[in-house]
Structure 1
Amino acid sequence: MGLSRIRSSEDPVTCLNRRVGKQQSRVLFVTGTVGAGKTTTAYAVGDLLRERGVPHAVLDLDEFHRLWPPPQGDPFKQEVELANLRAVATNYRKAGATYLLLAGVVVRDRARYEAALGEPILLCRLRPPLDRVTMRLTGRHEPGDERDWHVRRAPQLDAMLDEAGSADLTIDLDEETPAQVAARVLAATGFVE
């Protein structure tokens, strides 16, 4: 167990704090391929923050682009997602959320998410074994085109995330519970002191 794919031999928290500058990030973005457990982990991190009395909001970015048909020229509805993120994050901040927990996929567009939020993000990638991802996806989706698309997309997206290497750290997952994964994420990132 433990961290893998830290892109430096330094302590991961030191690497993360250097990446976002002297000010500690107030945005944790959990990313990974489809079926990696991003949303489940973000909610579990939220549970840990609530136990500690830390004001926060959890944002599942899948809900920020759930419309059909996609706008012309925006097949993955990213422009809609970014506009919604900007508005919702502003509202949550005004309502008192000190920290934001995001769940979604970021391959190469990290700077666009940081611009939408107006601050740096801490990008944490979850990487479960792909056979476990396939089991999750087949259990989550009814047989048919949508399930087939997700099952085909998972290894493609996983390879794209490997190639991009944009995450601050990658956590390889085993058979941990969501609470255990959330605790690992908080410990590895030093997100909330």
Structure 2
Amino acid sequence: MTADASRPRALLLVGSVGVGKTTAVDAIGEELAARGVPGAALDLDWLRRAWPTPAGDPFQHRLELVNLQAVSANMREAGAQVLLAAGVIEAREDRDDYEHAVGCPLTVVRLTAPRELVRERLHRRHELDPEGLVWHLDRFDELTAVLDAAGVEDVTVPIAQDPQATARAVLSAAGF
């Protein structure tokens, strides 16, 4: 880690659907564990998975932030020095809310991948779910455009074929 290794930090991986955010968070967690760095990994999708969806908050953003704040505090109290999360921030003005929720300095890393590679992944992932496939294919293009316009990331890292190579690239780009 950088200069003050005792101070907790958070690393949020953002990117469009199918780019490999969760896989990369898992690989980063393995890399940090091998280095002896205590941490915790979160998938933000799970922190907002509830129904029904409230009016005016179709992606349950408010619920995600409230849960992220509670879980992050618990993880830091349990000794995590690095909080890893996979998710999406769609607007630059929301970035401060995420840093407040994790309760420590936040670095946002955008993962990118070639469109055709992601489309292949989505076809495999939704092989038995044609409606889900159509939604995710459309959402990939839509969300890519949203992220391009929002510019929420501190650094951008293209994914590698090997998740561990992606993990090392992310950690290097984020100053670890």
User: Does the 8 Å contact 2:72/2:103 carry over to 1?
Assistant: no
Give the drift of 1:24: 7.3
Report the secondary structure of 2:157's partner residue. strand
* 3-state DSSP of counterpart to 2:70: helix
Aligned to 1:105: 88
Select which of 50, 55, 58 maps to 1:75: 58
Mapped partners of 1:39, 1:165: distance in 2? 20
How far apart, in 2, do the equivalents of 1:25 and 1:181 lie? 22
Segments of 5+ residues of structure 1 without an aligned counterpart are 1-16, 18-22
Q: TM-score, normalised by structure 2?
A: 0.90
1:130-169 to structure 2, matched below 5 A, reads 130-141=115-126, 142-169=128-155
1:114 has 2:99 as partner: yes
1:180 matched to which residue of 2?
A: 165
TM-score by length of 1: 0.82
Q: Work out whether residues 25 and 121 of structure 1, in 8 Å CA contact, stay in contact via their aligned partners in 2.
A: no
Output the amino acid matched with 1:81.
Answer: E
After TM superposition, list the pairs within 5 Å mapping 1:86-101 onto structure 2: 86-101=69-84
**What residue ranges of structure 2 are gaps of 5+ in the alignment?**
none
Question: Does structure 2 retain, via aligned residues, the 8 Å contact 1:137–1:150?
Answer: yes
The one-letter amino acid paired with 1:112 is: D
Letter in 2 for 1:44: A
SS at match of 1:190: coil
**4+ residue runs over 6 A deviation:** none
Identify which range, 139-148 or 71-80, moves more after superposition: 139-148
- Give the length in aligned residue pairs: 170
Per-residue deviation at 1:25? Answer: 6.7
Q: Kindly indicate whether the alpha-carbon contact (under 8 Å) linking 2:99 and 2:106 is maintained by their aligned counterparts in 1.
A: yes
